[in-house]
Amino acid sequence: MTIRLQDIKEGIPDEVALAIAIAGEPVTHAVNQRHTGFVVNGGEGQLWLFDLAWHNHFRKGNTGLEYAFVRAECLDEITAATIVGFLFALHDDTKGKIQYSVAYDDIRYFDGAKWVAGEPGQGLTCATFVLEVLRHHGIEILATETWPRDGNQEWQDRMILALPLTSEEFLAQCDISGQVARYRPEEVVGCAALCLFEPITYEVARGAADDVVLELARLGKGHPPDRVSRWP
Amino acid sequence: MTDRLNEVIDDDATTSAWIGHDFAKRGCVDFISNGGTAHVASSYWSLSGTSWKPSRPSFDPFGTCNAIEASMVLQMKVTRQPAMMPHFRFSEIDSAKSLIYSLEAEHHGREAAMFIGYVVRRNFNHRNWAAVNELLETILIDELTRWSMVALLRSTFSARGVLPAWKRLLLDVSSRIEVEERATVLRGLL
C-alpha cells in the first residue's frame, strides 16, 4: 500500500478532527531529520499543531506551511475527539513542560492530563510523544518489540549533548544511549497511515518510512533520499 | 462578549453558573476543536429558551473563550436537572452522570464525550481512582450513545489496571455494538 501525504496548505477535510503531521529538513535544519506531531482541525481553516519540539517544549501553536499530514486510519471520530480533548488539557496542565529523552519505555507517562514521568532519563521524542498519546488511549501502531536496539548511538549521543539537561538527566541518558530503540518520525507517520488493527512491525515500517520521505520530497517539503547525503 | 458573560454570571451567582463557567472555560476548546464541527457547534450553541444566541462560535486558542464560554453558562442554566446543580462537584459522580445523561438526551453526544474526558482527567489528576471507578460501575449505558461509551473507555484506558469496573464496562459496551463494528469502534480496547 502506497502512502500519500497531503499538503497542509490544502487544509484538512472537515470530517477529520485529528491527523499526524510531519515536516522535513526545512523545519529541522538537520540532515535526514524529520519532525512530527499532531495537527488538530478546529474548523473553518483553523489548525493547531501539538508537538514536542524540544526538552520541556511541548507546543500548541499554528501549523506552519512546511508541514504535510496523513490521516491516521486507526482513529475513528470518537477516539479522535477524545485525544483532541486530551491534548488541549495536557498542554494546559503541563504548561508545555514535557521532558525530552531518547528512551521510550513501557512506563506510565501521563495520569489524566498530568505528566508523571519525571525521573532523570525519562521523557519522549517528537515521535514517541505521538506514539505515547495514542497508546494512552488504547491505540498501538508500532510493534515496539521488533525495533532494533542498536545502530542509533551516534544520533542519540548527538541529541543528548544538544539537550539542555541537568547533570543528573544528562548522566541518566548517557547510560542508555546506544541501547534503546530509535523511533523515527517518518516511521511513526508511515505506521499511522497504514495501521488498521495490528501494530506494524519494523520491517514494514521501514518501507512505509521510505514512502513518507519520498512524499515529503514530492511536496517540496524535504529532500529525496538520494540527495540526503549531499545535504550541506 | 465578556461583559455579557459577566452579566450572566452576576445575574445568577449559583453553583450551576459557576460550574458552567469553569467547565466551559477549561473544556470549550474541546468542543470547538473537533472534526471541524462548525455545524455541530452551531447547533449546540443555538440555545432554546434563552434570549441570547451567538451568531457563530468563535474561539481564541490563546485567550479567553468568549462566545462559547458564555454559551456554556447559558446551556448549563437551561439544562433541566435542577436537583443536581446545587451539589455539583467534579468528584461527585452522580452529578456528572446526570449531566452526561442530559447531554445525551438532547443529542449532544460529542459534548457528552468531551465532558466525560474532562471529568476523568480532573479526577485522575488528583489520583481519585475510586471516583472514576464509581463512574464506570454505575453509569447507565442504556442512556448513552456510542460517543459516551467509547469516551468512557478510551479516557480511562491507561488506568484500567486500577479500575475494576473497566473490564465489565468494556464487555457491556461491546455487547451493545454491532459485531461488524466492534473491531473498528473498540480497536485496541478488546
Let me know: does A124 contact A104? Beta carbons within 8 Å. Answer: yes
- Chain A: nearest CA to B55, how far in angstroms? 15
Write the single-letter amino acid at A11.
G
Q: Tell me, what's the ipTM?
A: 0.88
Let me know: does B47 contact B106? Beta carbons within 8 Å. Answer: no
Residues of chain B neighbouring A77 (CB-CB closer than 8 A): 35
Of A81, A88, A138, the CB nearest to B35: A81
Separation between Cα atoms, residue A210 and residue A3, nearest integer Å: 10
Separation between Cα atoms, residue B149 and residue A206, nearest integer Å: 36
Separation between Cα atoms, residue B30 and residue A221, nearest integer Å: 30
Instruction: Find, in chain B, the residue whose alpha carbon is nearest to that of A195.
Output: B187
Residue recorded with cell 473498540: B186
pLDDT in tens, A36-51: 999 999 888 889 999 9
- Cβ of B151 within 8 Å of Cβ of A81? The answer is yes
Query: How many inter-chain contacts (A to B, CB under 8 Å) are there?
Result: 131
Of these ranges, B4-18, B35-49, B125-139, the one predicted with the greatest mean pLDDT is B125-139
Burial class (CB in 10 A: 0-12, 13-18, 19+), B98: middle
Q: Write out the three cell numbers for A94.
A: 503541563
Does residue B76 or residue A103 have the better pLDDT?
Answer: A103
Q: Are strands A46-54 and A35-43 parallel, antiparallel or unpaired?
A: antiparallel
Instruction: Find, in chain A, the residue whose alpha carbon is nearest to that of B111.
Output: A81
Give the pTM. Answer: 0.80
Separation between Cα atoms, residue A99 and residue B155, nearest integer Å: 23
Let me know: does A97 contact A76? Beta carbons within 8 Å. Answer: no
CA dihedral B99, B100, B101, B103 (to 10 degrees): 80
- Cβ of A15 within 8 Å of Cβ of B35? The answer is yes
pLDDT in tens, B62-107: 333 333 443 443 344 333 333 333 333 545 788 889 999 999 999 9
Separation between Cα atoms, residue B177 and residue B97, nearest integer Å: 21
Query: Angle, to 10 degrees, between the axis of helix B15-32 and the axis of helix B38-45?
Result: 160
